[in-house]
Amino acid sequence: MQVEEIKEKITPALIKHKISRAGVFGSMATGLADSESDIDLLVEFSEKISLLEFVRIKFELEEILGKQVDLVEYQAIKPRLLPRILSEEIRIHESEENSIHNF
């Protein structure tokens, strides 16, 4: 699965769940993914959500994509991993309200 296909499939769900920005990182972003690879997805929510809602969104994205999804919030990235992850990231969604500030 290519990043553009991921974007096309999940954009409606990202909008529905008020995700202000999202990006793919890891093997899907670097071109090293194989048929067994999961999808590493960075997200930022425009509103605070519960852990239960976070898990529901993760499962919904997995159902849409037919693959395991590793859902990570931008602010939850460990500082030592931040430079590598952000350098790999391919942004697939950004709401207009969020486009004026970057991480």
* Rg of the chain taking only CA atoms, in angstroms: 13
If the chain, 103 residues long, is cut into consecutive pieces of 10 residues, what is the mean pLDDT of each piece? 95 96 96 94 96 98 97 95 95 75 46
Q: Is residue 89 domain-resident?
A: yes
Q: Is residue 81 domain-resident?
A: yes
The range of the structural domain enclosing residue 57 comes to 3-94
pLDDT reported for residue 1: 87
Q: Is residue 57 domain-resident?
A: yes
Contacts within 8 Å (CB) and 24+ apart, 79-87: 85/25, 85/42, 86/25
Q: Is residue 103 domain-resident?
A: no
pLDDT reported for residue 95: 86
Closest CA to 72 of 90, 85, 84: 85
Q: Is residue 34 domain-resident?
A: yes
pTM of the predicted structure, to 2 decimals: 0.87
Instruction: At 81, list the tokens.
Output: 């991993």
Give Dmax over CA atoms of the chain in angstroms. Answer: 36
- Which CATH number belongs to the domain containing residue 33 in this structure? 3.30.460.10
Residue 43 near residue 21 (C-beta atoms within 8 A): yes
Q: Is residue 102 domain-resident?
A: no
